[in-house]
Amino acid sequence: MTTSARVRVPFVFVDVFADEPLTGNPLALVPDADNLPVERMRAIAREFNQSETTFLVRPTRPEADWRLRSFTPGGVEVLGAGHNAMGAWIWLAEAGRLPPGRRQFVQEIGDDLLGVEVAEPADAAGADAKSVVTLDHSAPRFGRTVDDLEVLAAVVGLAAADVATSAAAQVVSTGAGHLLVGVRDRGAVDRAVPDVPLLLAVLREAGGEGCYVYSRDPVHPESGSVAYARFFNPTVGIVEDPATGTAAAPLVALLVAAGEIADGRTVVVEQGHAIGRPSRLTVSIDRDRVRLSGSGLVSAEGVLLL
């Protein structure tokens, strides 16, 4: 079969929250995707089989610079601003698609207009510095709690003694609502094996999308880390995600609300170690202003022949 009649669709892979290739959270990104119908977007996301594939399209609202649409392999559209959005802006900066000297932008995701700040490499320390992208999130919204320690332990495949009691297990959203379950140390985080049917039932009851299992026992507390986490999201077909901005930001919001972290601090959440994709997610909370920062790099380029 010849390829002359096929449509060529360029794509890139971006390793987000990464300092070097093949770390962090990989994002499949399709730029200039205005001519792709939604069902074709879903099919491409299924083909790439990454936790999320993002499509850059023209905005529908005049205030926005770009509109982002992101889909899981199961075809579910993701509306939060996590690695799906950060990877897109990392590519825009690296590809020279942003106006020189401009740092402030607006992205359209679902019904939301969210601010973006891009610090160019020259603004950061070090000759090998990468662009740093900072995404505004929605103000924290605190949902239902799950108070039964036995149920929580069963959900994540641990003993009741492994579940922390210092902060409630609660659904918190800064754009997407996830159930945040604290455990006693990072060893317990690494041992977690979710009971998927039970987790789905608990998430439905609590009104959460995914589950963020965390401890206050990070690998590198000396460099600003305050938590060590893993993310499971069977509701959209994600077995485990190596770096989840839409969960790290709510976690920091929960810890601030609980008085465990001072309001106004900038802190780091560690994720991805258990699956060999170590990631550092930087979050700042200043009252209701929530911001997620990170960097990364383009690790692959290619063309789909459709």
CA–CA gap between residue 207 and residue 202 (Å, rounded): 8
**Weakest-pLDDT range from 25-29, 142-146, 237-241, 245-249:** 237-241
Residue 5's pLDDT is 84
Residue pLDDT, tens place only, 286-301:
989 999 999 999 999 9
Residue with tokens 């939301």: 112
Q: Please, what are the domains in the chain?
A: 8-138+294-305 (3.10.310.10), 141-287 (3.10.310.10)
| Residue 125, CA distances (Å) to 106, 107, 131, 132 in order | 26, 27, 11, 11
What average pLDDT does this structure show over 166-172? 91
How far is residue 188's CA from residue 199's CA, in Å, rounded to a whole number?
Answer: 17
pLDDT tens column, 99-156: 999 999 999 999 999 999 999 775 545 556 688 999 999 999 999 999 999 999 999 9
Q: What is the mean pLDDT of the chain?
A: 94
Tokens 């891009």: give the residue: 118
Helices (H), 163-304: 186-191, 196-206, 245-257
Q: Residue 1: is its pLDDT beyond 60?
A: no
Q: What is the mean pLDDT of residues 188-196?
A: 98
Within 10 Å of residue 179's Cβ, how many Cβ atoms? Answer: 29
**pLDDT of the residue at 4:** 64
pLDDT digit string, tens, across residues 55-99? 999 999 999 999 999 999 999 999 889 999 999 999 999 999 999
Residue-wise pLDDT tens digits, 19-50: 889 999 999 999 999 999 999 999 999 999 99
Q: Which residues sit opposite 68 in a β-bridge?
A: 56
Share of the chain above pLDDT 70, in %: 96
142 in Cβ contact with 293 (< 8 Å): no
